[in-house]
């Protein structure tokens, strides 16, 4: 059974976000607040969660809208104090057009910022004995700039570094921070990939791994381990070697 009573998840209409909502609903969470841009998919996920007896409150929301996101988070907290917040909403860039690049950073970076900042302020005001955990969903693509998805990998590198820094700065306030760097997980993002996806994993399996490690307040949750090893090695190689490797990766078509 989960130790968290009220869980908030952005980007919960599909992929990891949806799988996390269903996981926590089936593991005793009392209340789950979810948001996404597709209302019909959100309602489907909410129905699944309610089948386990969990209270679920879906909201159609674009996390790049900072005032709306802050208002929603504050409303959720007022209904019942939040224990666990997942900054999960994210998009793939696909074609690196100026519009798509800006959208990638607006959602993958500013969407995380718009979720985390109001959460921090709420957690600072909450009782010290209350469980307080923030989880930022990054990606193994954030370990090194990827020529196959430069904007996406850059956005994930940004939130990875921010989360790792926040973990130490917020620790003294009793606020836990975890950064999740999954590999290829079944989602609307990977559904658009045409390149090879080694160590591919189903979203429900990924959610179980994430939840178990969040329960133990693990700082960096990167998996599957062969993929984590590969990207870590790529990140520490001299540029002449990493360039040689990365420029030979298959591109999306």
The residues annotated with a catalytic role in the active site are 152
The dihedral built from the CA positions of residue 96, 102, 106 and 110, taken in this order, carries a sign that is positive
Cα–Cα distance for residue pair 238/220, rounded to 1 Å? 24
- In this structure, how many other beta carbons lie within 10 angstroms of the beta carbon of residue 84? 27
Cis peptide bond prior to 214, omega within 30° of 0: no
**End-to-end Cα distance, the chain:** 43
Closest CA to 104 of 63, 60, 59, 161: 63
Cα–Cα distance for residue pair 228/181, rounded to 1 Å? 8
Using an 8 Å Cβ cutoff, are 132 and 230 in contact?
no
Residue 9: which H helix or E strand, with range?
Answer: strand 6-9
Cα–Cα distance for residue pair 145/156, rounded to 1 Å? 10
Cα–Cα distance for residue pair 17/93, rounded to 1 Å? 19
Cβ-based burial of 174 (10 A; exposed 0-12, middle 13-18, buried ≥19): middle
């Amino acid at each position: 059974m989960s130790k968290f009573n009220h869980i908030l998840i952005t980007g919960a209409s599909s992929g990891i976000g949806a799988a996390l909502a269903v996981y926590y609903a089936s593991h005793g969470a009392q209340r789950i607040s979810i948001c996404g841009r597709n209302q019909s998919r959100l309602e489907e996920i909410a129905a699944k969660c309610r089948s386990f007896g969990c209270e679920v409150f879906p909201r159609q929301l674009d996390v790049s809208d900072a005032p709306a996101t802050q208002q929603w988070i504050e409303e959720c907290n007022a209904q019942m104090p939040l224990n666990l917040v997942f900054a999960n909403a994210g998009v793939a860039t696909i074609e690196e057009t100026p519009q798509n690049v800006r959208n990638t950073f607006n959602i993958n970076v500013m969407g995380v910022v718009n979720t985390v900042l109001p959460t921090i302020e709420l957690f600072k005001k909450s009782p010290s004995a209350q469980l307080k955990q923030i989880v930022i969903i990054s990606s193994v693509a954030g370990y090194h700039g990827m020529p196959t998805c430069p904007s996406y990998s850059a956005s994930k590198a940004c939130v990875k570094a921010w989360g790792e820094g926040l973990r130490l700065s917020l620790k003294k306030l009793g606020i836990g921070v975890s950064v999740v760097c999954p590999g290829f997980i079944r989602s609307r993002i990977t559904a658009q990939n045409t390149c090879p996806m080694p160590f591919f994993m189903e979203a429900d399996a990924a959610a179980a791994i994430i939840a178990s490690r969040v329960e133990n307040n693990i700082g960096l949750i990167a998996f599957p381990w062969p993929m984590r090893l590969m990207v870590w090695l790529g990140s520490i190689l001299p540029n002449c070697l990493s360039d040689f490797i990365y420029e030979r990766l298959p591109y999306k078509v």
